[in-house]
Each structure stands twice: as structure tokens, then as C-alpha cells.
Amino acid sequence: MRDGGSFRDPSGFIFYENENVFRSINISYKKNFDHLVNSGLYDELVQKKLLIKHSEVKEEEHNPFQYKKLLVERIPFISYPYEWSFNQFKDAILLTLKIQKISIQYGMTLKDATPYNIQFKNNNPIFIDTLSFELIKEKNYVWKPYKQFCEMFLGPMCLMKYVDHSLNKLLINYINGIPLELVNKLLPMRYKFNLTVFSHLVLHNLIKENLNSNSNKVANKSTLSKTKHLNILNQLEDYVSKLKAPKTNTEWAAYNEETLDEKEEYVIDKQKTVLSFLKEEKYNICWDVGSNDGFFSYLISKDNAENLISFDIDWRCVDRNYLKCKEEKIYNVFPLVFDLSNPSPSIGWLNLERGSTFERFSSPDLICCFALMHHIINSGIPFENFIDFLSKSKKDVLVEYVPLSDPKCKIIFESRDDEFQYPSLEQFKNAVSKRFKVLRTNELKKTNRVLFHLRKIKR
């Protein structure tokens, strides 16, 4: 089966057979591919864990249009730039610049500069597009995807830094990059005086507009030396590497610390309960939805989950989670920005080019929802629909029932009128029992919250 997003590159495409990932290389890419492999560039990038590995596969039937068939190392989870936290996005940019700098030493250049060529393996960015390398011609180091880099990498990064972190979600609407004109409209004037921002976003946009207004004039073919190209790459790398995440507070950034301070016995009891519920359980894929900074994700991933996706709506929590995973070498937890009430949609050509959240992250063996139910109901989602979501699990669910009498609920729902309906514990039990067998329950200390361990009923 051919990948729905692999059709733009005339050099080849990705397809799947028996759970394996393959890349077909067209005859037209032969010269570039041979140089990539024979020059040593491929080996250096793979050795430094910058590029995904592949192995050649012999085809039984001759295909006159195909030069090579590659078996490609599979990435556990495919994520997109509008789901990344600040430092995930930053690391993706730095990887692209680093690969470009290495490539030109081998006489090659990246013909694409898009975050869709980056994925995360063991919480480190890795380049996945083997066909993105092409030979430099006539010693001209003009970077063809420079505009693409500015619209898909640098522009979104500056908007995340200087305006609002959530503006990387503009990439959902602008699948080919946020137009420079829009980037400049959104950026506050005071940040445009930074040399890098001015050169690559402001001045670049002015030059582009001038070229568009004088489209009838024949422009001379531009050229650039290797030294000048490296200077540009070094300037961009230096600027991006020094960027720090915005200091603005977010709603849930301090939630776990505050909860531990306010209700230490509750947190400790919940830890013990989770461990006791999962004592004999092993899962391949787990979703921890509303994971905050990953407190319970780490607990579950240690002995009970081979791969755990740590979803949260708060980018700062995800960012903190990501940096901790990197620092402590936690490889089986993958943090991601995710709004359960509005997950990433299918976008692009025929809505097949970029898959939705649920298309890409498979069916988990375990879904965990701690202290989440009341927030979903507050967003206008009926709790019956929340049960529908829990049913996406192939096997088990850990879900925390939060009663309306809970102090947090009283704050959240204080302005609701008499028509507002919130499920009682009994109603909740009846609802989940239609789809799950209740294996275990425990009322958590110092609260009336109840933790449920559910197993999906096979129909």
C-alpha cells in the first residue's frame, strides 16, 4: 500500500508491505542516490544517528522505472510539526541545518527543507527522507528550499517564540508553510530588528514582493559560493540554538507540583494503586492522555509499557516532559501536544496527505485518563462520548472518576445552570459496564475520586 503523503517527489515514494516500510527509488534519482551512498555521506549521517537507516532489497520482477527498493527502518510514531512543543520544533530545525552543513562537504544539498522530513526516535530528531539529497551543480551553493525553510521552519519558530506558542498550528491550514507575508503581519515590530529575523523574514519578504511586482523582468540566475552559504547556515544555527522557550505561564504548567503540595496522600495513593492494578500487566502501546509533565507516564512506562505516548494539551508541560526524557534517556515515552476535544485532522491532498491523530497512533493496548473526565465534560463533550473514546483501547483502560462534589469540579462548573448534567458514580459504572468489565476499583485517599481498571469486552 502506497503512503498517502508520498506522491510529491518524482524521485520515488514510500509504501508498506506486511508491516514493513519500503522506499521505491525511481531511475531518475540514480545519480543522486549513488553519490549519497558511495561518497560516504549516507554512512556518516547514519553513524551520527541523523538519518534513518535502510537496506537494499532485491526485486524478483523487473520494474523499468525503479532503480532500487529499500527496506526502511520503521519509526514507532509519526508526528507532525503542529503537534510539537517548542524544543521539539527547535531540535528539528537544528537537525535540518546540521545535515545541510554536512551534505555540502560531500557535494550534495537538501532539495527540501520541511519539518515533515523529521521524526523523533528515542526523543531525538531524525531525518527520514533518503530522497531529499541532490548533487550541487556548477559549484553553485544557492539553497533551493531556502524560502521553504523560512516558511516551514524559521517563520513558525519565531511566531512560537515571540507571539504565541500555539501558532505552529497554522501549519494545519498552510500545509506548505506559513506565507512570509502573514509571518510579518503577525510578528511584533520590536522583534523584526533582530539581524536574523530581519534578514530572513522581513527583507526576504520584501525582495519576494518586489520580484512578484516585476515578474515581467527576466532575473539573472543567482549564484552563491560555498563559504557564503556556510556563513548563512552558521548564522541561522547560532540564532536558533540560542532561542529559549517563551516565559509566559500556561494553565497547567504547575498542576502536578500544586497537586502534590495540596494532596500528597492522594498522589501517593494513586501511584500505589496504578502499580498494583498493573502489577502483572504488559502493554505494547499505551496512551497517557492529559499526562501533564509525564509524572504517571514514567511510572507506567518503566515496567508495564513498551511504548507510551504522553499526550497533553499544555505545550509547556509537553516541553518539560520532552526535555526530561532526553536528559534522563527515557526512550519509550513520547511527549506530544494533543487536545482530545479537537485532535489533529486529516489534511492535504484528498485529506490523505497527513493523517489524523487516530490514524497515525494506532489502537493502544492501554488508555490512561487520570483526572481528565471533568475537563472533557467541561469542554461540552457528553460523558457517553468520552466512553466512546475509551473504547479505542484494544484491551485495558485506567480512568479516574472525579465526582461533581470534588473541589476542582466545583470551581469548573460553578457557573452551570440547573440543566447541566454530570454523571454520578453509579451512572458512570453503568455506562462503562456496557463496553468494559470492571477489574478493579479504588477510592483514592483524601478525595472521593475513584480509579477504575477496565478491560474491554470482546464482542
Separation CA 129–CA 100 (nearest Å): 13
Q: What per-residue confidence (pLDDT) applies to 248?
A: 78
Average of per-residue pLDDT across 53-63: 87
Average of pLDDT values for 81-88? Answer: 98
List pLDDT tens digits, range 304-338. Answer: 999 999 999 999 999 999 999 999 999 999 999 99
Select the more confidently predicted residue: 221 or 130.
130
Find all residues with CB under 8 Å of 36, minimum gap 6, and list them. 42, 108, 130, 133
What average pLDDT does this structure show over 67-85?
Answer: 95
Residue whose C-alpha is closest to residue 308's, from 279, 328, 281, 330: 330
Confidence of residue 1 (pLDDT cuts 50, 70, 90): confident
Phi first, then psi, for residue 190 (nearest 5°) are -65, -25
Q: Is the pLDDT of residue 259 over 80?
A: no
Comparing 49-63, 95-109, 167-181, which segment has the lowest mean pLDDT?
Answer: 49-63
Side chain identity at residue 203, one-letter code = L
Distance CA 273, CA 265 (A): 12
pLDDT surpassing 90 at residue 91: yes
What does pLDDT average to over the chain? 93
Per-residue pLDDT tens digits for 134-164: 999 999 999 999 999 999 999 999 999 999 9
Count Cβ atoms below 10 Å from residue 146 Cβ, excluding itself. 17
Going by pLDDT thresholds of 50, 70 and 90, the confidence category of residue 254 is low
Q: Please say if the pLDDT value at position 47 is more than 50.
A: yes
**Residue 152 DSSP one-character state:** I
Question: Which of the four pLDDT bands, split at 50, 70 and 90, describes residue 267?
Answer: very high
Instruction: Assess contact for 340 and 290: CB atoms under 8 A.
Output: yes
Largest CA distance in the chain: 76
pLDDT for the residue numbered 64: 83
Residue 253 pLDDT grade (very low, low, confident, very high; cuts 50, 70, 90) = low
Assigned C-alpha cell, 49: 544517528
Distance CA 202, CA 185 (A): 10
Range name among 88-102, 222-236, 373-387, 405-419 with the lowest pLDDT average: 405-419
CB pairs under 8 A, 24+ apart, for 230-239? 230/101, 230/104, 232/143, 233/97, 233/100, 233/101, 234/101, 235/195, 235/196, 235/199, 236/97, 236/154, 236/196, 236/200, 237/94, 237/97, 237/98, 237/101, 239/194, 239/196
| Backbone phi, psi, residue 21, to 5° | -105, 130
User: What is the reported pLDDT for 256?
Assistant: 61
53-67, 141-155, 178-192, 205-219: least confident range: 205-219
State how far the Cα of 148 lies from the Cα of 9, in Å rounded to an integer.
15
pLDDT at residue 218, as a whole number = 44
Within 10 angstroms of residue 439's Cβ, the number of other Cβ atoms is 13
Over residues 56-85, mean pLDDT: 91
Length of the chain: 459
Q: Is the pLDDT of residue 125 over 60?
A: yes
What is the reported pLDDT for 255? 64
pLDDT score recorded for residue 260: 59
The stretch 54-61 carries a mean pLDDT of 87
- Gap between the Cα atoms of 419 and 454, Å rounded: 30
pLDDT range class, residue 356, cuts 50, 70, 90: very high
* Separation between Cα atoms, residue 205 and residue 147, nearest integer Å: 9
d(CA 192, CA 201): 8
Q: In the predicted model, is pLDDT for residue 261 greater than 60? A: no
Q: Strand pairing of 436-443 and 133-135?
A: unpaired
pLDDT at 219: 45
Give tens-digit pLDDT for 221-243.
689 999 999 999 999 999 999 99
pLDDT in tens, 438-449: 999 999 998 999
pLDDT band for 250, please (50, 70, 90 cuts).
confident
- Dihedral pair phi/psi, residue 397, rounded to 5°: -140, 135
